[in-house]
Amino acid sequence: MRSTHQSASANPLSNKVNRILYGAFVLLSLYFGLTGSYEDSAVNLGIALIVDPFDQTVRWDNRPRWQRGWLIVHLLIMVGIGVVYWRTFGA
């Protein structure tokens, strides 16, 4: 029987790739926001949250407060852009 327990340390390459992808999606979101495509901007911010730029093996409760704050502010900005878009152009 195989153990499905993951190792306690994350793969450093995976962390680097996640940070690069996070930065790319945030920059793409900024580009779409500046060109007026707010829906695409919010979507790309959401995708950026999927590729968590921090160590994913650390539980939410054990993360430093600044990391939790960063991700919460990121989420609030994404929701804010989505709400503004929906109120402006939605049904």
Round to whole Å and give the CA distance between 73 and 49: 11
Q: Which of 59, 68, 76, 74 is nearest to 23 (CA)?
A: 74
Round to whole Å and give the CA distance between 47 and 44: 5
- Alpha helices, DSSP H, located in the chain: 12-34, 38-50, 65-89
pLDDT in tens, 49-78: 888 888 888 898 999 999 999 999 999 988
pTM strictly above 0.85? no
Per DSSP, 57 falls in state: T
Average pLDDT, the chain: 83
Ranges of each domain in the chain: 12-89
